Structure 1
Amino acid sequence: MKLSAASKSMAGLFAIVVATSACASDRGADSSAGALAPAAAAGTGASLSVEESFGTLSSPCGPGEAAGSTDQGVSDSEIRIGYGDDRGYSKSPGLNKEIGDAVSAMIDWCNAQGGINGRTIVGTHYDAAMTQANAVMQNACASEFMMVGHGFAMDQTSEQTRVACNLAAVPAFTVSPDAANGPMTYQGVPFPVDYANGSQWFQIAEMYPDLLGEFDVIDSTMPTIISASTKIRSVAEAAGFTLKNCGVTLNYEGESSYAPFAEKFKQCGVKGLWTSRSPVPAEFNFVKALDQAGIDPILLGEATWYGNAAQAWNGENGLLDNLHAGMTFQMIENADAVPAVKKYVELVTEQDGKTALLGMQATSSFLLWATAADACGSDLSRQCVIDELSRIHEWDGGGLHAVTDPGNNMPATCGLVVKLEGAEYTQAFPAEAGTFECDDRYRVATDPSTWGTELGPDRIATKYLNPNVIRPTV
């Protein structure tokens, strides 16, 4: 896709980037709005104490005698990795800042222990600022060993460049279909196009069994949201829902009045609504219209709704007290009960960074990469790291999230549902805070018409494949 064409859908990508990135949200506190300098070598984290674990995960970091310039970006003493976010996007300053903040903190944490087998990690922070993803990828191609823990909202503009230069990646999240199932890509929390974690639908069905025939999906004019909603419909049906199909489509750019749409849902008799959008002013205006129409449906969405915006707005009026959001991550409120979440919060806040679910997602991917890199020992190469990543089939980031299968690019079969009441989120399902409900049914195969790309027999996107891509040898 040319940048000019991609720019036309920029607003839509901004609205759903978190929803399409393994269901993460902006929940957390931002204690620093400043720019992040490139992470430095050992010594910058002098205040960090040596650690031996991250939650339940034994630390992959530590001293050693690794030596040799075994690949681009690897020397006797250093491993150069790229990471980054879109914090410089002028229309939303600080966009996904928590991703870069997390990787910066993890680099210092790892270097304080001795790096990876004694090699110091040198991180370069890349700010794609939404529209510059391809430019930063071109720069990374020239010097980095791998990309680790990054997340660019317009990754469709950089995927061809990344694949062409064999820059293997362990991103925090992916957005475009070709990146989600891209070659030489592994994620701590996979979000492939051909399978989805539908736990929130199955769990809402258990919470509100009388609503199996009373739910509908709010449609949108934005193509990216249309695609997401189409996939959601198939997931809802797999969970036993018969959607009412009321035929309500909202203009992505907003409506002069939401009253007619709220009235149509009322006449249709809905008692539950799914939204693929994020908590933005237009969505809040629609919720107001529902209230004015005299209906108060159960609202269900991705983890984008577990965030500061919805929390602050509902604290003023309580109109979102029926809001539910599905997640595969632990709540940040559970930090005292979940050691991995506590460690994440401690490391990032020590650097005055922003803590949020996407930051935990970046942390998981960094730890995944570090675990594979550590297993390679002195002979550190992209081929070796890819081989090691392909062997990892049970991964939870030390307890940050439900167990996934990065080696096979498969999402979790577990999840939880949070509920908002006033300005407070609580875990609504399962009942015990800090636990997930798991079921093989939660992993739903999606219709190929929703994929947005062609996959080969190995489930790898074929669009940018070339004979030189690095494939697992195991």
Structure 2
Amino acid sequence: MKHSTASKLVAGLAAVLVVTSACASDREGDAVVSAGSPSAAGEAAPASDAMFGTLESPCGEGDATGATDQGVSDTEIRIGYGDDRGYVKSPGLNKEMSDAVGAMIDWCNAQGGINGRSIVGTDYDAAMTQANTVMQNACASEFMLVGHGFAMDQTAEQTRVACNLAAVPGFTVSPDAANGPMTYQGVPFPVDFANGSQWFQLAEMHPELIDKFDIVDSTMPTIISANTKVRSVAAAAGFKLKNCGVTLNYEGESSYVPFAEKFKECGVEGLWTSRSPVPGEFNFIKALDQVGIDPIFMGEATWYGDAVRSWNKESGLLDNLHSGMTFQMLENADSVPAVKKYVELVTEKGGKTALLGMQATSSFLLWATAAKECGSDLTRQCMINELSQIHEWDGGGLHAVTDPGSNMPATCGLVVTLSGADYAQAFPAETGTFKCDGRYLVATDRSTWSTDLGPDRVSTKYLNPNIIRPTS
């Protein structure tokens, strides 16, 4: 049975939702840094009774006053957040994001809010196809959107820009949202630069694969675009892809064996996928085993999760999985205070913990940090001014350092591998550290952008004379 357009997007977009963030910086050469360490995030955070990892809490009592902007009063700040959990074909989609922001709002309000103003959150459900309806509602009442993630954000971006609704998303998908005006992310994912850490790091781990790797192509437009970007990153890392010419139908194949045979005949020993861990992808992996090859299988951090863990526990066919990440593993909670704090706060509320939840948490903390600096002058203009000046950010140690103010991806990362149902950090060798290298920051081919950028690297598609820009 053919899928609807929206259902086609679920897995296709999931591969690009999250996880190629890391630290944009002026570093040359390479370095191994610990999460939340002074070398990872600038100067160490000062001591405080309320900490989030290494980050001193931006929340607390205060005397801020004034109805300074829509959604702001003497006593309250109204923000919107949310996900696509109501999508009927994938119930609970990205629910971990709203679970995280809800827990962070409670944590912040327990300390006194932001400068004494309580945070009032509206939890929106875009249910995949209702992103624009959500945006219309948010435009009418919210001060800002914070920590949200809507898979079809391209349908809502024009509305958001038209009403000057500034945003600090947990993730963006469409090019116009990723480089949108009045948008800052804890983990930036712009269209014009990419974090290529996993390719460079794989080259260090398996130099014998440099000329034996290939990419699994797809008929899905978003995956075609993603793979074009990935090819430029792989080339920058020194890979000479075999280009075996294998393209899988996104809607599935009656048999994956002929495609696996073609990869075998082509002599591949490593494969990249831009797809998420969906049943069709698992069937393809089974076919590789049936024809007698066991290539290194590499993908984005969407391959770090419970679905993959459960499938491999039964099959064992993904013990060769390598997944690139710029977040700390949840398994590191005992050794990384920020991860431990995130898990504690969300679990306490009965929520789901996952990478996207940590990503939403990072964006909430980024927003709160800027809001604190605005004090009584809490306006969207002040927020954009403050956010544009934050150039080193790691969410208190949740992830490698990023540059939200410049919307630049990172030059740090790590690689995890899977054995049975257990993930482990494989590179760098020391658990809880990232490797950083200026080479990891790769400028992408303009043909992959799918949007036009101005000299400030902001998408020009929906610009109007009234948008809010940073002022000195």
Cα pair 2:20 2:409 within 8 Å, conserved:
no
Instruction: Among all aligned residue pairs of Structure 1 and Structure 2, give the percentage whose two residues are the same amino acid.
Output: 80
Using the size of structure 1 for normalisation, the TM-score is 0.92
CA distance in 1: counterparts of 2:117 and 2:259, whole angstroms: 59
Match of 1:357 among 355, 365, 379: 355
CA gap of 1:24–1:240, structure 2 versus 1, over 3 A, is closer
CA distance in 2: counterparts of 1:448 and 1:22, whole angstroms: 21
CA distance in 2: counterparts of 1:198 and 1:310, whole angstroms: 23
Match of 1:21 among 17, 24, 43: 17
Corresponding residue of 2:89: 91
Match of 2:222 among 221, 224, 227: 224
Cα pair 1:217 1:229 within 8 Å, conserved:
yes
Which residue identity is paired with 1:254? G
What per-residue deviation string (whole Å, max 9, x for no partner) do you get for residues 37-66 of structure 1? Answer: xxxxxxxxxxxxx95110000100000000
1:8 positional shift: 5.6
Query: Where does 1:20-419 land on structure 2 (aligned, <5 Å)?
Result: 20-23=16-19, 52-419=50-417
> Cα RMSD between the aligned structures?
1.2
What per-residue deviation string (whole Å, max 9, x for no partner) do you get for residues 263-322 of structure 1? Answer: 000000000000000111111111111001110000000001001111101101211010
Which residue identity is paired with 1:99? M
1:411 positional shift: 0.8
Which residue identity is paired with 1:223? P
**Secondary structure at 1:313's aligned position in 2?**
helix
Q: Show structure 2 runs of 5+ residues with no match.
A: 22-47
CA distance in 2: counterparts of 1:54 and 1:16, whole angstroms: 33
**Secondary structure at 1:193's aligned position in 2?**
coil
Query: Where does 1:446-465 land on structure 2 (aligned, <5 Å)?
Result: 446-465=444-463
Cα pair 2:13 2:222 within 8 Å, conserved:
no
Which residue identity is paired with 1:300? M
Cα pair 1:22 1:190 within 8 Å, conserved:
no
Cα pair 1:56 1:398 within 8 Å, conserved:
yes
For these two proteins, the number of residue pairs brought into alignment is 444
1:9 positional shift: 3.8
Corresponding residue of 1:444: 442
Cα pair 1:84 1:149 within 8 Å, conserved:
yes
Cα pair 1:12 1:224 within 8 Å, conserved:
no
Which residue identity is paired with 1:273? L
Which residue identity is paired with 1:248? V
Which residue identity is paired with 2:71? G
Cα pair 2:20 2:189 within 8 Å, conserved:
no
Higher relative contact order (CA 8 A, sep 6+): 2
CA distance in 1: counterparts of 2:13 and 2:143, whole angstroms: 26
Corresponding residue of 2:31: none
Cα pair 1:194 1:446 within 8 Å, conserved:
yes
1:24 positional shift: 7.7
Cα pair 1:170 1:369 within 8 Å, conserved:
yes
Cα pair 2:53 2:341 within 8 Å, conserved:
yes
1:121 positional shift: 0.2
Cα pair 1:79 1:119 within 8 Å, conserved:
yes
Which residue identity is paired with 1:315? K
**Secondary structure at 2:151's aligned position in 1?**
coil
What per-residue deviation string (whole Å, max 9, x for no partner) do you get for residues 424-472 of structure 1? Answer: 0000000001100000111100000000100001000000000000000
Which residue identity is paired with 2:355? L
CA distance in 2: counterparts of 1:313 and 1:24, whole angstroms: 24
**Secondary structure at 1:242's aligned position in 2?**
coil
CA distance in 2: counterparts of 1:393 and 1:21, whole angstroms: 22
CA distance in 2: counterparts of 1:51 and 1:78, whole angstroms: 24
CA distance in 2: counterparts of 1:430 and 1:10, whole angstroms: 38
Using the size of structure 2 for normalisation, the TM-score is 0.93
What per-residue deviation string (whole Å, max 9, x for no partner) do you get for residues 377-428 of structure 1? Answer: 1110000000000000000000000000000000111000000111100000
What per-residue deviation string (whole Å, max 9, x for no partner) do you get for residues 222-266 of structure 1? Answer: 001000011000000000000000000000000000110000000
**Secondary structure at 1:436's aligned position in 2?**
strand
What per-residue deviation string (whole Å, max 9, x for no partner) do you get for residues 83-111 of structure 1? Answer: 00000000011000000000000000000
CA distance in 2: counterparts of 1:388 and 1:9, whole angstroms: 39
Q: Show structure 1 runs of 5+ residues with no match.
A: 1-6, 26-49
1:23 positional shift: 1.3
